[in-house]
């Protein structure tokens, strides 16, 4: 029987029949990627209610990328560089992470989802890389560059991520202006960029959860992309 993957989505203004209105959105590459591995997918948009999803049974969870997490969640004031904050999305996804941990649902956090996993476990973020870190790598590269390899990451030994791929130096894309600062509880770093920024984390508890800073859904021909989905579905 195929597994059901719940994938969180964001909100963007989209031009449809009633005009330009806020719509729930998710890159269709996620659905195609899951389907290509024999898995079904459902999209969970941001919601105002604190839903416990008790009537929904899903086997795996992906927290996707998107706007910035409200810094209040990790004890900071909102910096002018933080953008596209949506409290309903924070609430929905933090609730889903709690459900996943309590029910041992294997979880993959991507970009924002990677950062949210850290915040969920009590960690903090740098609200803007350029304002806080001296680096010669431009980590925020959009549009056509979203599908290109921008820099290498070094996968750390003795981590879950190191068992997913035999290649310890991997090229990835880069679409983020924030990065993990203080690591949360029961987490360990599994990947670093060439300039020393945290590109991957994972849980050290019985709950299997991985966070990655890059966007594998935009790198569909990469072996690591499919290795990650295979790990998620194991």
Does residue 217 have an active-site annotation?
yes
Q: H-type helices in 103-189, by residue range?
A: 112-120, 129-132, 160-164
Task: Identify the active-site residue in 93, 101, 202, 217.
Answer: 217
Beta bridge partners, 30, equal: none
Q: In angstroms, what CA-CA distances link 227 with 96, 206, 211? A: 24, 21, 14
Check: CB of residue 45 under 8 Å from CB of residue 11.
Answer: yes
Distance CA 201, CA 180 (A): 10
Distance CA 81, CA 22 (A): 23
Does residue 23 have an active-site annotation?
no
Check: CB of residue 79 under 8 Å from CB of residue 71.
Answer: yes
Task: Identify the active-site residue in 111, 139, 176, 202.
Answer: 111
* Active-site amino acid positions: 111, 215, 217
């Amino acid at each position: 029987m195929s597994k059901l993957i719940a994938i969180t989505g964001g909100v963007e203004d989209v031009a449809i029949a009633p005009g330009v209105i806020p719509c729930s959105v998710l890159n269709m590459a996620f659905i195609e990627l899951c389907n290509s591995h024999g898995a079904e997918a459902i999209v969970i948009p941001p919601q105002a209610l604190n839903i416990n999803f008790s009537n929904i049974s899903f086997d795996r969870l992906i927290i996707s990328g998107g706007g910035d997490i409200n810094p209040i969640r990790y004890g900071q004031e909102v910096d002018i560089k933080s953008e596209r904050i949506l409290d309903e999305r924070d609430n929905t996804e933090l609730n889903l992470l709690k459900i996943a941990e309590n029910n041992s649902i294997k979880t993959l956090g991507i970009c924002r989802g990677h950062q949210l996993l850290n915040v969920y476990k009590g960690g903090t973020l740098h609200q803007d890389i350029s304002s806080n870190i001296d680096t010669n790598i431009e980590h925020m590269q959009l549009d056509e560059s979203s599908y290109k390899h921008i820099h290498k990451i070094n996968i750390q030994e003795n981590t879950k991520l190191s068992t997913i791929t035999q290649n310890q130096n991997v090229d990835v894309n880069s679409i983020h202006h924030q990065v993990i600062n203080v690591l949360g509880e029961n987490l360990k770093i599994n990947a670093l960029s060439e300039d020393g920024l945290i590109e991957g984390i994972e849980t050290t508890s019985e709950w299997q959860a991985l966070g990655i800073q890059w966007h594998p859904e935009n790198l569909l021909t990469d072996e690591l992309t499919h290795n990650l989905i295979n790990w998620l579905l194991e």
